[in-house]
Amino acid sequence: MGRVIRSQRKGAGSIFRSHVAKRKGIPRLRSFDYPEKCGYIKGIVKSIIHDPGRGAPLAYIQFRNMYKFKKVISKFIATEGMYTGQSIYCGKKAKLMIGNVLTLQSVPEGTICCNVESKEGDRGKLGRTSGSYVTVINHLNEKKTRIRLPSGSKKIVSSKCRGMIGVVAGGNRVDKPLLKAGRAFYKFRAKRNCWPVVRGVAMNPVDHPHGGGNHQHVGHSTTIRKDAPPGKKVGLIGARRTGRLRGSRKTKDNQNSTI
C-alpha cells in the first residue's frame, strides 16, 4: 500500500491551513440598507493599508451609523485612484465616479466595476483581486444584467446587485518578476503552505501515482475518473477535453450577432 499523498494531506487541513492571524478582516460592501436602496450615503476614506496575503490594498472608510450617534468603519477593497480624504458615496442615486458603489441598473453599458455582488445583498464576490475588473455588457431588462468576468466568461446577475466603480488597485503587481526563491518564500508564507510545489513525476512511486521510472515521465494518461479513490485522484480529474484552447470560442452571443 502506498503512502498518503499530498492531495490527501491537504484535505485534512493541519499545516496546510490559511495563515489568517495577521490579516485585517473581510473586506466587503456595506449591508444593503434603506439609504442605499432609495438614495445614497456618504463616507470618507480614512486610510489605505496593506493586507498580508492579499495583492490588493484595503481602504478604511468611515460612515455614519444610521440608527445611533456614532461612526462606523467599513473595510473596502481599494480601487485605482482612491486616496485618503476622498468622499465615497454608496447607493442607488450616487454619481458615476471612481470608488462609488452603485446598483448595476444605475450604471450605463460598458462601465468597468469591481467587487460586484453575485447575488443581491451578498456584499461583493466578483472581481476582487488586484488589477481585475468586471465589465457591464448590457441590461437585458429591468431585472437582469449581463456582465463579463475577469476570466472572460459572461454571467447574468440581478440588476439590483451592487458594484464599485473602477479597477482594483495593485494591478501591476505581477509585472515585476520575483527573480529568486527567497522572495517567493516570503510571498507564500503570508498566504499558506503551498510553496514550493514538487512535481509528481519527480517523486517516487510510493509518494505519487506519476512517480518512478528511469526517466521523468507519467507513463499513462493523466486524465482520471471522478470516482477514483483519493490516493489515485491526481491529474486532469473528470476532464471532458484536454489540450490547448485554440481559436476563438463560439458562444450563443457570437452566433446571434452573426445572424
pLDDT digits (tens, 9 = 90+) for 1-31: 679 999 999 999 999 999 999 999 999 999 9
Taking the whole predicted model, whether its pTM rises above 0.85 is answered as yes
Least confident of 94-98, 136-140, 251-255: 251-255
Which residues share a beta bridge with 47?
60
Q: Which pLDDT value is given to residue 258?
A: 53
pLDDT averaged over the chain? 93
Query: Is the per-residue pLDDT at 239 higher than 60?
Result: yes
Q: Which of 133, 23, 151, 160 is nearest to 79 (CA)?
A: 133
Q: How far apart are CA 91 and CA 41, in angstroms?
A: 6
Query: What radius of gyration do the chain's Cα atoms show?
Result: 23
Q: Which pLDDT value is given to residue 250?
A: 67
Give 92's pLDDT tier (boundaries 50, 70, 90).
Answer: very high
- Mean pLDDT of all residues in 106-134: 96
- Mean pLDDT of all residues in 194-222: 96
Asked if the bond preceding 52 is cis, omega within 30° of 0, the reply is no
Cell 476570466, residue located: 151
Which residues share a beta bridge with 88?
43
- Mean pLDDT of all residues in 177-194: 96
Cell 473595510, residue located: 75
Handedness of CA 124, 79, 35, 47 (dihedral sign): positive
Q: How far apart are CA 129 and CA 176, in angstroms?
A: 17
Which residues share a beta bridge with 77?
58
CB of 103 within 8 A of CB of 30? no
Which residues share a beta bridge with 154?
148
- Mean pLDDT of all residues in 114-120: 96
C-alpha distance from residue 74 to each of 78, 90, 130 (Å) = 12, 12, 19
- Mean pLDDT of all residues in 84-110: 96
Q: Which pLDDT value is given to residue 256?
A: 62
- Mean pLDDT of all residues in 127-142: 95
Strand (E) or helix (H) holding 185: helix 181-189
Q: Which pLDDT value is given to residue 1?
A: 62
CB of 62 within 8 A of CB of 70? no
Length of the chain: 259
Query: Is the per-residue pLDDT at 44 higher than 60?
Result: yes
